[in-house]
Structure 1
């Protein structure tokens, strides 16, 4: 056996355990979920009945599916604006020479919400939004804007925005930290040269900072979009899709079908749709971002 073949065999042996884990816990469940979506079955009966594409046809005729899809897209758009866009701006401000010495304090404050349990966050913000004792309405009363006081989670027009706002509060700091790490790897000589050429801070940001961390921006964008379509916890804790299913997302719709209605085949269909949507959007972002290529 040549040395090259021996090295290849050794490499395969090292990769094999991780590959088996990925196949067992990622790809196999995806295939099985697609398989189960073609059957009518539940958790309390052993048999299955083949129904083909019946559940997919039902899903596309279900108006709640389009409400959930709209809410997930709303999560994605607002999250891109605040978590990616806002996180990028905050990171750039913290990297400014005038602010840098206070950076450890601000990093801690901004990142802290992202390590708090989502259950705690959901219950906390339920109290903050409470129309009687909540801080939001209390602050509005204190500044003389009592007309703006509202039942934020009890109104179908405002509930989804109230839930989305909590997600931004919790995860913007996480994205900020990712961008900070990327910015700190940019050579200082680039900024010194820009200053010598008389470039403004805004021009330096768009001409040096953004191009240098474009890979991290792409990663942040993909992670944010995938997270927006997998969102479940905050909606489940704060509203469980209410009032009137106005805050329903694909995750809560799946949970309701599986564990409330015991329609496992229909839940598998919703799960397959979540996978297809996130996969498609991720591939589009990677293609537009031209990851690893020179633009």
Structure 2
């Protein structure tokens, strides 16, 4: 016990700088954000009026808040299906012996969108969705599907799906890379044994590949879900919550309150709720990861 204490004391000077940085730039701002959410204040005033839980009551009575939560949840569900599910299938295809020789080329093709600036991607797809000169409607017209020609970002029924589709195009390749890294660690003997036993590719995918990389699948799922509740850039660039706030998400709602309406207390409340959601999801990730190791 004494030796352990001495080791901890000797290590303290090395971890103290990092600990101070984490306390100063992570934990202190989180505590202050919760504190500021209890006051009415703006960016140009030194005075703060204590309002208690007023902003929280206002937030949970605001119908736009539930629209934002619904859009973030829709974002998460579609991202799990496309990014995690689709990325897993693509990675498995690239790991096939017939395609493996071309894997480096396909990895580059799939991964390039994820390193492009989100603002650039948003502007690019804004042009692609343009109802008059956009490539999406142009392609539909060339294929003779004129009934599908649409103002994708101008219709409240399709705008959120159009924005979500952009994120799937951009980040599915990132999931593919994560799954490929995990698949490379699977012993080749397992696949050879399954082939000797007469298993086909689909059977080996469900019986060998998925069980062997289940931890990476869990991590990828949680990264995707947490990212879906923190999404901001693509919505801000493409629609800024419109039309009619139909594409509003928690991030744009926070930005609107803070920098458009100058309601910093209300913005702090929204930020606190976003933190609570992402923190709860992080706890779930740690719990599931631990249970997977125990199993």
- Which band: TM-score by shorter chain? over 0.9
1:212 aligns with 2:208: no
Structure 1 position 208, deviation (Å): 1.3
Q: Secondary structure at the match of 1:293?
A: helix
1:88 aligns with 2:88: yes
Kindly report which structure 2 residues correspond to 1:9-158, keeping only aligned pairs within 5 A, or say none: 9-158=9-158
Q: Secondary structure at the match of 2:227?
A: helix
Structure 1 position 138, deviation (Å): 0.1
What corresponds to 2:180 in structure 1?
180
What corresponds to 2:278 in structure 1?
278
Whether the aligned pair in 2 keeps the contact of 1:163 and 1:238 (CA below 8 Å) is: yes
Whether the aligned pair in 2 keeps the contact of 1:130 and 1:151 (CA below 8 Å) is: yes
What corresponds to 1:194 in structure 2?
194
What corresponds to 1:287 in structure 2?
287
Question: Quick one: distance in 1 between partners of 2:189 and 2:13?
Answer: 44
Moved more, 282-291 or 83-92: 282-291
For residues 216-257 of structure 1, the C-alpha deviation after alignment (integer angstroms, 9 at most, x for no partner) is: 111111111110000000000000000000000000000000
Question: Quick one: distance in 1 between partners of 2:100 and 2:23?
Answer: 45
Whether the aligned pair in 2 keeps the contact of 1:218 and 1:286 (CA below 8 Å) is: no
Whether the aligned pair in 1 keeps the contact of 2:219 and 2:285 (CA below 8 Å) is: no
Question: Quick one: distance in 1 between partners of 2:130 and 2:237?
Answer: 14
Whether the aligned pair in 2 keeps the contact of 1:80 and 1:225 (CA below 8 Å) is: yes
1:166 aligns with 2:166: yes
Question: Quick one: distance in 1 between partners of 2:10 and 2:87?
Answer: 42
Whether the aligned pair in 2 keeps the contact of 1:84 and 1:221 (CA below 8 Å) is: yes
Question: Quick one: distance in 1 between partners of 2:246 and 2:37?
Answer: 26
Moved more, 272-281 or 117-126: 272-281
Structure 1 position 22, deviation (Å): 1.7
Kindly report which structure 2 residues correspond to 1:243-258, keeping only aligned pairs within 5 A, or say none: 243-258=243-258
What corresponds to 1:221 in structure 2?
221
Question: Quick one: distance in 1 between partners of 2:71 and 2:4?
Answer: 53
Q: For this pair of structures, how many residues does the alignment match?
A: 294
TM-score normalized by the length of structure 2: 0.96
For residues 44-97 of structure 1, the C-alpha deviation after alignment (integer angstroms, 9 at most, x for no partner) is: 100101111000000010000000000000000000011111111110110010
Moved more, 48-57 or 192-201: 192-201
For residues 138-191 of structure 1, the C-alpha deviation after alignment (integer angstroms, 9 at most, x for no partner) is: 001101111110000000000000000000000000011011001001111111
Question: Quick one: distance in 1 between partners of 2:52 and 2:286?
Answer: 33
Whether the aligned pair in 2 keeps the contact of 1:215 and 1:291 (CA below 8 Å) is: no
Whether the aligned pair in 2 keeps the contact of 1:128 and 1:136 (CA below 8 Å) is: yes
Structure 2 unaligned regions, length at least 5: none
Question: Quick one: distance in 1 between partners of 2:171 and 2:291?
Answer: 24
Question: Quick one: distance in 2 between partners of 1:156 and 1:270?
Answer: 23
Question: Quick one: distance in 2 between partners of 1:39 and 1:30?
Answer: 15
Question: Quick one: distance in 2 between partners of 1:269 and 1:135?
Answer: 41
Question: Quick one: distance in 2 between partners of 1:213 and 1:105?
Answer: 23
Structure 1 unaligned regions, length at least 5: none
What corresponds to 1:8 in structure 2?
8
